[in-house]
């Protein structure tokens, strides 16, 4: 056999990362006439482009803004994020290239091949891929209406399993839509203390809450929590500014690893984010606008689903974030996607998010990217596909 052939072999770590059979299907959804409920994108028209470009023009006038920065991130932005999160010390905050990089670095800093990592089922696929890339032994526990199933986690721990990390999306879960209750959060923090694992509280959607009542983060209930956040959903994904906050020891490990990953983030983007987070009057009114538009879109989607599909769909009313998780009893949603794309609408079938559980009759619908008219039309097309599918 030729040596050249061998040179394209992936590492064991990469070979362990699950490819997505769904990805091929989703390519179809990029056809121009397809209305997409599939992507997890914020609404482009709600990105504060003008405000960002004003800041960018002012900030880039100083060449220092275009220099390298330290690996932990520009200090003034760490301060701004600390204030935004209500964390005392900027030393407990590290800035990353989106919160996805925080997850990647954390896993590489803390997990050895074969270590147990617990994730949600259905899972945020970006987290699954990260933990597979470090060859963790992944166990998925159900997401219930109260968040990660802490009873199942307790059973696992009592049976002698010792995870390094328990990862969960605490607010407006991607894809399940649910928010962990206060009781779930308190119990997760307690179990982390008792059994010595780290909770990764992945929270890019917390500010996109439709009602006014906030629930305290898991991080408010213990010390073994690393909380991830992001400017992507409230400002703009292309800024690629995310953050992690947590124990200083963990932050320092990630900082060291980060030097080898990309040296540092973008000084320029971080300075823009610092300015926008610090302008709290502007930020509050901007986020209010995004939230009320998403609330309108979520209500529109839910109403259209009930109107067009009636008892063929089961779902919880979205209370924030960008996603509605729908069950369609008796329908194989991967198969439905083919008819749906032919009818001009796309979604992500539930199997894309399943680890141990079977979500073949579920689908994730994103309501953030289409305006109400588009949502009505998308659901009308979905109903056409369902009718065709059941023929
Ligand atoms: C749950 C969750 N975590 C993290 C991310 C990563 O976002 P970013 O890297 O843009 O901060 C996403 C993106 O969709 C997400 O849904």
Residue 204 alpha carbon to ligand 1 centre in Å: 6
**Could you give the domains of the chain?**
13-42+283-389 (3.90.1150.10), 49-278 (3.40.640.10)
Question: Ligand 1: distance of its center to the CA of 202 in Å?
Answer: 8
Q: What is the mean pLDDT of residues 39-49?
A: 95
If one residue of 39, 96, 98, 226 were mutated to test the ligand 1 pocket, choosing by the most ligand atoms within 8 A of its CB, it would be 98
Q: Which of 39, 41, 81, 99 to mutate to test the pocket of ligand 1 (most atoms within 8 A of CB)?
A: 99
pLDDT number for residue 20: 59
pLDDT band of 31, cuts 50, 70, 90: confident
- Residue 118 to residue 96: CA distance in whole angstroms: 23
287 Cβ neighbours under 8 A, 6+ residues apart: 207, 208, 234
Closest approach atom of ligand 1 to CA 240: 10
Q: Residue 40 CA: which ligand 1 atom is closest?
A: 14
Please confirm whether the linkage preceding 180 is cis (ω < 30° from 0). Answer: no
Provide the pLDDT for residue 214: 84
Which strand ranges, in their side-by-side order, compose the sheet holding 362-366?
314-315, 323-327, 362-366, 348-349
Question: Is residue 260 predicted with pLDDT exceeding 70?
Answer: yes
Residues 352-365, mean pLDDT to the nearest whole number: 96
Mean pLDDT for the stretch of residues 143-166: 98
**Residue range 116-131, pLDDT digits in tens:** 999 999 999 999 999 9
Q: Is 242 in the pocket of ligand 1 (CB under 6 A)?
A: yes
| Paired residues of 279 in beta bridges | none
d(CA 57, CA 279): 17
- pLDDT one-digit tens code per residue, 168-203: 999 999 999 999 999 999 999 999 999 999 999 999
Query: What tokens does 43 get?
Result: 């609404």
CA of 193 to the centre of ligand 1 (A): 26
pLDDT value at position 7? 73
Q: State the burial class of residue 18 (Cβ atoms within 10 Å of its Cβ: 0-12, 13-18, 19+).
A: exposed
The pLDDT of residue 39 is: 86
CB 192 within 8 A of CB 198: yes
φ/ψ of 332, rounded to 5, equals -85, 105
Average pLDDT value for residue range 248-275: 96
**Mean pLDDT computed over 316-330:** 97
Task: Name the pTM for this structure.
Answer: 0.95
Task: Identify whether the C-beta of residue 83 lies closer than 8 Å to the C-beta of residue 275.
Answer: no
pLDDT digit string (tens) for 77-121?
999 999 999 987 888 999 999 999 999 999 999 999 999 999 999
Reading the block at residue 133, the tokens are 């890339």
Q: What's the pLDDT score for residue 89? A: 81
C-alpha distance across the termini of the chain, in Å? 51
Alpha-carbon gap, residue 289 to 303, rounded angstroms? 21
Query: Ligand 1: distance of its center to the CA of 231 in Å?
Result: 10
CA distance 186 to 221: 6
Ligand 1 atom with minimal separation from the 169 CA: 1
Task: Find the 390 Cα to ligand 1 centroid distance in Å.
Answer: 35
Among 230, 235, 244, 269, the mutation site with the greatest number of ligand 1 atoms within 8 A of its Cβ is: 230
Instruction: State the average pLDDT for the chain.
Output: 94
Which pLDDT belongs to residue 249?
Answer: 94
| Residue 23 pLDDT | 64
pLDDT, one tens digit per residue, over 2-27 is: 556 667 888 888 888 876 555 666 67
* Segment (H or E) for 158: helix 150-158
Q: Report which protein residue has its CA nearest ligand 1's atom 6.
A: 100
Q: Is the pLDDT of residue 218 over 70?
A: yes
Show the beta-strand stretches assigned E in the chain. Answer: 35-36, 93-96, 116-121, 137-144, 147-148, 165-169, 198-202, 225-230, 242-245, 314-315, 323-327, 345-346, 348-349, 362-366
| Candidate from 38, 47, 95, 100 with most ligand 1 atoms within 8 A of CB, to mutate | 100
Integer Cα distance of 10 and 300 in angstroms: 45
Q: Which strand (E) or helix (H) includes residue 340?
A: helix 333-343
Q: Is 309 exposed, middle or buried (0-12, 13-18, 19+ CB in 10 A)?
A: middle
Average pLDDT over residues 330-336: 96
Residue 18: the pLDDT is 74
Give residue 51's Cα distance to chain centre.
25
Kindly state if the Cβ of 42 falls inside 6 Å of ligand 1: no
Candidate from 4-13, 220-229, 258-267 with smallest mean pLDDT: 4-13
Pocket flag, ligand 1, residue 232 (CB < 6 Å): yes
CA-nearest residue for atom 8, ligand 1, is 98
Q: What would the two tokens of residue 166 be? A: 């328990």
Ligand 1: residue of 38, 95, 97, 126 to mutate (most ligand atoms within 8 A of CB) is 126
Nearest CA to ligand 1 atom 14: 40
Asked if residue 130 has its Cβ within 6 Å of ligand 1, the reply is no
Distance 100 CA to ligand 1 centre (A): 6
Determine what percent of the chain is predicted with pLDDT higher than 90.
Answer: 88
Q: Establish whether residue 361 lines the binding site of ligand 1, counting it when its CB lies within 6 angstroms of any ligand atom.
A: no
């Amino acid at each position: 056999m030729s040596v050249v052939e061998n040179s394209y072999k992936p590492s064991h770590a990469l070979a362990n990362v699950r490819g997505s059979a769904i990805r091929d299907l989703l390519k179809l959804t990029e056809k121009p006439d397809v209305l997409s409920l599939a992507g997890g994108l914020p609404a482009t028209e709600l990105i504060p482009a003008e405000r960002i470009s004003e800041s960018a023009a002012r900030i880039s006038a100083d060449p220092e803004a275009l220099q390298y920065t330290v690996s932990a991130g520009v200090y003034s932005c760490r301060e701004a994020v600390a204030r935004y999160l209500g964390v005392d010390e900027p030393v407990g905050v590290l800035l990353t290239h989106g919160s996805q990089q925080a997850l990647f670095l954390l896993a590489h800093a803390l997990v050895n091949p074969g270590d147990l990592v617990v994730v949600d089922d259905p899972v945020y696929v970006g987290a699954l891929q990260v933990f597979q890339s470090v060859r963790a032994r992944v166990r998925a526990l159900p997401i219930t209406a109260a968040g990660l199933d802490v009873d199942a986690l307790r059973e696992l721990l009592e049976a002698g399993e010792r995870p390094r990390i328990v990862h969960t999306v605490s607010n407006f879960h991607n894809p399940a839509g649910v928010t962990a209750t206060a009781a779930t959060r308190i119990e997760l923090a307690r179990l982390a203390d008792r059994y010595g694992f780290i909770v990764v509280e992945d929270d890019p959607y917390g500010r996109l809450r439709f009602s006014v009542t906030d629930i305290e983060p898991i991080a408010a209930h213990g010390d073994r929590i690393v909380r991830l956040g992001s400017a992507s959903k409230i400002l703009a994904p292309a800024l690629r500014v995310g953050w992690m906050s947590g124990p200083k020891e963990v932050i320092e490990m990630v900082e060291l690893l980060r030097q080898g990953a990309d040296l540092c983030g973008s000084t320029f983007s971080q300075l823009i984010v610092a300015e926008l987070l610090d302008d709290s009057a502007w930020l509050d009114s901007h986020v209010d606008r995004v939230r009320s538009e998403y609330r309108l879109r979520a209500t529109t989607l839910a109403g259209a689903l009930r109107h067009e599909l009636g008892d063929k769909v089961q779902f919880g009313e979205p209370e924030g974030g960008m996603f509605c998780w729908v069950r369609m009893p008796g329908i194989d949603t991967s198969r439905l996607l083919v008819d749906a794309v032919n009818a001009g609408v796309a979604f992500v079938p539930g199997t894309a998010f399943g680890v141990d559980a079977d979500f073949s009759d579920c689908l994730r619908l994103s309501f953030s990217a289409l305006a109400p008219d588009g949502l009505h039309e998308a659901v009308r097309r979905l109903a056409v596909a369902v009718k065709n599918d059941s023929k």
